[in-house]
Amino acid sequence: MVRTITTERIPIKLWLDDIEEGAMQQARDIANLPFAARHVAIMPDAHQGFGMPIGGVLATRGVVIPNAVGVDIGCGMCALRTSLTRFSRSDLGRVVDRIRTSIPVGFKHHSQPGKDLLPAIETRLPVVEREFNSATYQVGTLGGGNHFIELQKGSDGYLWIMVHSGSRNLGKQVADHYYREAVKLNEKEGKKKEIPRQLAALPVDSDIGRLYLNEMQYCINFAFASRRRMIDAVSEIIAGYFKNVVFNDFINIAHNFASDETHFGERLMVHRKGATSAKKDERCIIPGSQGTSSYICRGKGNPESFQSCSHGAGRVMGRKQAQKLLDLKKERRWLDEKGVIHSLLNKKDLDEATSAYKDINRVMKLQEDLVEIVTELQPLAVVKG
């Protein structure tokens, strides 16, 4: 931890030394919520989000805040190790070409539904039920933004597959619906001035609060099923090019969710928005930006971060800012010189250029008290939406 701010209702504990003012103001806002508990933890990849900083961890008493989870509920990472230790760039190029034709990206969906891949709906889930049919075509699709499929060379010598994706439109619909419900409830109870609109909350012991938590959990399960389908598809493609390849050491984590947990001897609702659980000896995945290292880590269970760590490198530029300010030729040349098969093709892709993100080495240094690095993964090929 770098420093603690004690000017607000509860302390703000920072694992970075250069937080932007917008994110800092959001940290102050959540620290002053009447139901915020113990302290706020801000991870080293933090940057401004909607209502709460991305890279923030907030514990609350008795309520859940939809915008402290975010619109991409259950967004997270999967990683899978292959038995391959020898492969050429041309081999990987062929694999990437197949991935691009097999897995829909951006706004594209599968042509056939994947209903059998989705978890059963076992309780009343009004938004999920409304969106279920569309979701069957979206499971196993990458989406856009910072989501990716990456082939990596591990410090253990093996080829790894990594997937970063979320709950697609399903999560957004759930998030938007319950955010509106939270706003209406807070205004009805006269909390409009006390609680900022973007941080409107739902009581966890209310019908609407329980509904949100159940729908949130379904979105987490959907996001995992979607990542699993993609990583299985990539595995099949690799197995088609390399004989006798074995896949093992599968890891899955989420970094947008709320969880009922016990910290400091008290049951709390812990919101992680762009933050990863890092309990003692728990395995974590921390990706870098396009062209930089990613990491398989082991959590240290630091209580001061509510046993959490960063979810990645974190942005230093907004998307439109990066597209306006960064040099496409320079960014492409840097990736080409590293030998990375990348997805930086046009000026619009600059929002995902390496320079739009923080230095992952610095981010990892700042959280040495949160995680231990197990395997460093160097990028070889990247597919993005």
- Active site residue: 39, 177, 255, 311, which one? 311
SS3 string, the chain, reads CCEEECCCCCCEEECCCCCCHHHHHHHHHHHCCCCEEEEEEEEEEEECCCCCCEEEEEEECCEECHHHCCCCCCCEEEEEEECCCCCCHHHHHHHHHHHHHHCCCCCCCCCCCCHHHCCCCCCCCHHHHHHHHHHHHHCCCCCCCCCEEEEEEECCCCEEEEEEECCHHHHHHHHHHHHHHHHHHHHHCCCCCCCCHHHCCEECCCHHHHHHHHHHHHHHHHHHHHHHHHHHHHHHHHHHHCCCCCEEEEEEEECEEEEEEEECCEEEEEEEECEEECCCCCEEEECCCCCCCEEEEEECCCHHHCCEEECCCCECCCHHHHHHHCCHHHHHHHHHHCCCECCCCCHHHHHHCHHHECCHHHHHHHCCCCEEEEEEEEEEEEEEC
Q: Is 311 part of the annotated catalytic residue set? A: yes
Any idea which residues carry the catalytic annotation? 311
